[in-house]
C-alpha cells in the first residue's frame, strides 16, 4: 500500500527467493492501493515492516504495537506515530551540558567566603535541580508532542509546555492539501522536515513539525486519502 | 568593622530566607509536574509511562531531600 512497506516487503520476498512475477504483482498491489488496509494492519509480518519499531522513544513508528490516545475510537487503528526528530533535542542538551559545567568555572568569579561550606553545597545542588527541571521540561515537551495518523484521521497532541496542552484532529477525508517542507543542511542530512496539512476542518492547518521521512508521511497520507475516496464511492463509511 | 559584620549577617539571613522560599516553591512545582505527567500519560500511552512517572517522582524526591538537608544542616 505505502512505499515504506514496499521496500521491506520487497526485501523479504527477495530473501526468500520468490519469483519476480510474484514480486511485481505484490508491488503493483501495494502501489495501486489494492491491498486492504485491514490486511496490512493485521499482517503477521508487520514487525518486519520498514519503520516499525518497538522503541518508545522513536520519532517514526509505522504501525506501532501499543499506542493509545485519548478519545480513540475502539475500531480506530494507529498507522503512524511521529514526533520531532531526535536531533532537534541537541540544542537543549548542549545548553544543559554548559549549565552542568558552569559551576566549575563560576567558582573562580563568585565570592562565597561568607557562606558556610554546607550552604555552598546546597546552592550547588539547587543549581543542578534547576538544570534537572529545565531538561525534564524539554524532554517531556518533546516526548509528548506527537502526531498520529490513524486509518480514519490525523491527530496532533501538542504539549507546548508543562502546563498547556493542545489536541487537534481532522478526518482523512477533510485533508485538502499536503505540503512537505524540507530546507537547511541539518534537515537534509538527517532527512526530516515539516509536513503541512491543509484541512477543511475547523482548524485549517495542521503541521507535523520536523518529522523524519516527511516524503513517506506525505505518501502514506495520499494513499489514505485515495482509500477513503474509494470507500466513499463504494459506500463503506465507518 | 561592626557594621560590616552585621551587614554580612543580615545578607546571609536574607539568602537563607530566599533559599527556603525557593525550595518550597520548587516543591510545589515538582508536585505539579507529577500531576501534569499523570495527565500526559492519560492522553497518550506508548509503553514508556512507568519510566517517565519514576523519573518525575525521583525529581520530586530530590527536591524534598534538598529541602530537608537545608533545614537540618544550614538553618
In a domain, A99, yes or no: yes
CB contact under 8 A, A165 and B69: no
DSSP state of B36: H
- Scanning every residue of chain B, which has its alpha carbon at the shortest distance from the alpha carbon of A71? B43
According to the model, what pLDDT value does residue A55 have? 86
Q: How far is CA A223 from CA A37, A140, A148, in A?
A: 10, 32, 16
Q: B44 versus A38: which is more confidently predicted?
A: B44
In a domain, A129, yes or no: yes
CB contact under 8 A, A122 and B19: yes
Assess A110–B contact: CB distance below 8 Å, yes or no: no
According to the model, what pLDDT value does residue A65 have? 83
In a domain, A111, yes or no: yes
Chain B residues close to A67, C-beta within 8 Å: 44-47
In a domain, A102, yes or no: yes
In a domain, A171, yes or no: no
According to the model, what pLDDT value does residue A27 have? 46
| Host domain of residue A119 | 90-139
**How long, in residues, is chain A?**
238
According to the model, what pLDDT value does residue B67 have? 92
Assess A56–B contact: CB distance below 8 Å, yes or no: yes
Integer-rounded Cα radius of gyration of chain A: 23
Residue A42's contacts (CB-CB under 8 Å, 6 or more residues apart) are: none
Assess whether pLDDT exceeds 50 at residue B53.
yes
Task: Count the domains in chain A.
Answer: 1
Q: Are A157 and A145 in contact (CB under 8 A)?
A: yes
In a domain, A204, yes or no: no
Low-confidence ranges of chain A (pLDDT < 70): 1-42, 44-46, 48, 107-114, 236-238
Amino acid at each position: 500500500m505505502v512505499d515504506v512497506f514496499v521496500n521491506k516487503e520487497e526485501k523479504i520476498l527477495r530473501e526468500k527467493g520468490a519469483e519476480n512475477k510474484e514480486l511485481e504483482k505484490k508491488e503493483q498491489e501495494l502501489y495501486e492501493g489494492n491491498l486492504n488496509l485491514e490486511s496490512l494492519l493485521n499482517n503477521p509480518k508487520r514487525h518486519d515492516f520498514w519503520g516499525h519499531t518497538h522503541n518508545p522513544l522513536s520519532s517514526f513508528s509505522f504501525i506501532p504495537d501499543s499506542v493509545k490516545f485519548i478519545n480513540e475510537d475502539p475500531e480506530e487503528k494507529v498507522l503512524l506515530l511521529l514526533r520531532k526528530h531526535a536531533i532537534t533535542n541537541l540544542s537543549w542538551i548542549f545548553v544543559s551540558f554548559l549549565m552542568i559545567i558552569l559551576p566549575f568555572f563560576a567558582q573562580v568569579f563568585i565570592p562565597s567566603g561568607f557562606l558556610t561550606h554546607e550552604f555552598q553545597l546546597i546552592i550547588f545542588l539547587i543549581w543542578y535541580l534547576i538544570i534537572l527541571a529545565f531538561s525534564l521540561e524539554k524532554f517531556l515537551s518533546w516526548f509528548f508532542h506527537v502526531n498520529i495518523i490513524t486509518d480514519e484521521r490525523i491527530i496532533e497532541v501538542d504539549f507546548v509546555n508543562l502546563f498547556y496542552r493542545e489536541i487537534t484532529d481532522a478526518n482523512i477525508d477533510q485533508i485538502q492539501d499536503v505540503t512537505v517542507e524540507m530546507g537547511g543542511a541539518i534537515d537534509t542530512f538527517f532527512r526530516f522536515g515539516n509536513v503541512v496539512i491543509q484541512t477543511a476542518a475547523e482548524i485549517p492547518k495542521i503541521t507535523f513539525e520536523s518529522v523524519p521521512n516527511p516524503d513517506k508521511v506525505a505518501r502514506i497520507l495520499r494513499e489514505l486519502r485515495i482509500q477513503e475516496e474509494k470507500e466513499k464511492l463504494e459506500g463503506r463509511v465507518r | 568593622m561592626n557594621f560590616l559584620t552585621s551587614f554580612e549577617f543580615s545578607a546571609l539571613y536574607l539568602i537563607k530566607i530566599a533559599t527556603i522560599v525557593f525550595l518550597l516553591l520548587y516543591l510545589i512545582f515538582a508536585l505539579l509536574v507529577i500531576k501534569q505527567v499523570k495527565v500526559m500519560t492519560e492522553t497518550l500511552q506508548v509503553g514508556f509511562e512507568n519510566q517517565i512517572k519514576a523519573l518525575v517522582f525521583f525529581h520530586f524526591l530530590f527536591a524534598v531531600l534538598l529541602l530537608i538537608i537545608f533545614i537540618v544542616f544550614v538553618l
